[in-house]
């Protein structure tokens, strides 16, 4: 069950909200997948999205590997696929930085959010949901990741006031939701 907690930032056209719940259940235009370089599935939110969305997503990811990114998706990059059987129309897959191995984890995390927002905008997405990219197995400290997410989204809003994007930050626990809300204030 997804619970809406608060709407914390609004410009005339763009907004951020924080919710707690399972991102695969959200009827968005697009949801973001915290994928890995292989694009071929994994654990955490990646596994949940592939399970809920069915084989069409994996098939599209395989095609992307064979064409655009034969060596894997670099940290900070993002690609779009169908949402398959998900309530969301599209999935935007991004490879977050591995905190203790990436040469520039903060820069690459910001780049993930920025690339996803750019792709969403280019695909006419109005309702977009993000999980906490890199804050699970990839070990990015959650409070810092939340600040980077909010700052990057607000910067995108300032640069694209006409985008009309409603961005939902999805926390998987109430503790994570609090960190996101703090980052928004």
d(CA 166, CA 163): 9
- Of 10, 22, 29, 46, the active-site residue reads 46
Is residue 83 close enough to count as binding ligand ADP by CB under 6 A? no
Is residue 113 close enough to count as binding ligand ADP by CB under 6 A? no
Is residue 179 close enough to count as binding ligand ADP by CB under 6 A? no
Is residue 73 close enough to count as binding ligand ADP by CB under 6 A? no
18, 28, 44, 81: which one contacts ligand ADP (CB under 6 A)?
44
Question: Which DSSP string corresponds to 15-27?
Answer: EEEEEES-GGG--
The answer to whether residues 172 and 134 touch, using CB atoms and an 8 Å cutoff, is no
Is residue 131 close enough to count as binding ligand ADP by CB under 6 A? yes
Q: 46 an active-site residue? A: yes
Closest separation between CB of residue 170 and ligand ADP, Å? 5
Site pattern 18..37 for ligand ADP (x: CB under 6 A): ----xxx---------x---
3-10, strands of its sheet edge to edge: 3-10, 15-20, 166-171, 127-130, 30-35, 90-95, 78-82
Residues 116-145 as b/e (b if ≥16 CB within 10 A, e otherwise) read: bbebbbeeebebbbbbbbbbbebebebebb
Is residue 53 close enough to count as binding ligand ADP by CB under 6 A? no
Residues taking part in catalysis: 46
Footprint on this chain of ligand ADP (rule: CB under 6 A): 22-24, 34, 44-46, 48, 96, 131-138, 170, 172, 176
């Amino acid at each position: 069950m997804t619970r809406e907690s608060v709407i914390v930032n609004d410009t005339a056209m763009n907004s951020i909200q924080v919710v707690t719940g399972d991102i695969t259940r959200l009827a968005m235009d697009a949801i973001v997948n915290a994928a890995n370089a292989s694009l071929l599935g994994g654990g955490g939110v990646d596994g949940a999205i592939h399970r809920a969305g069915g084989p069409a997503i994996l098939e599209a990811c395989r095609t992307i590997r064979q064409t655009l990114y034969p060596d894997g998706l670099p940290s900070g990059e993002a690609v779009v696929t169908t949402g398959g059987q998900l309530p969301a129309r599209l999935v935007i897959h991004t490879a977050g930085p591995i905190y203790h191995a990436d040469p520039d984890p903060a820069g690459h995390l910001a780049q993930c959010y920025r690339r996803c927002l750019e792709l969403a905008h280019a695909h006419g997405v109005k309702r977009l949901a993000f999980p906490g990219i890199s804050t699970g197995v990839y070990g990015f400290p959650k409070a810092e990741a939340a600040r980077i997410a909010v700052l990057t989204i607000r910067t995108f809003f300032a640069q694209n006031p006409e985008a009309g994007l409603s961005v939902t930050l999805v926390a998987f626990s109430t503790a994570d939701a609090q960190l996101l809300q703090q980052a928004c204030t």
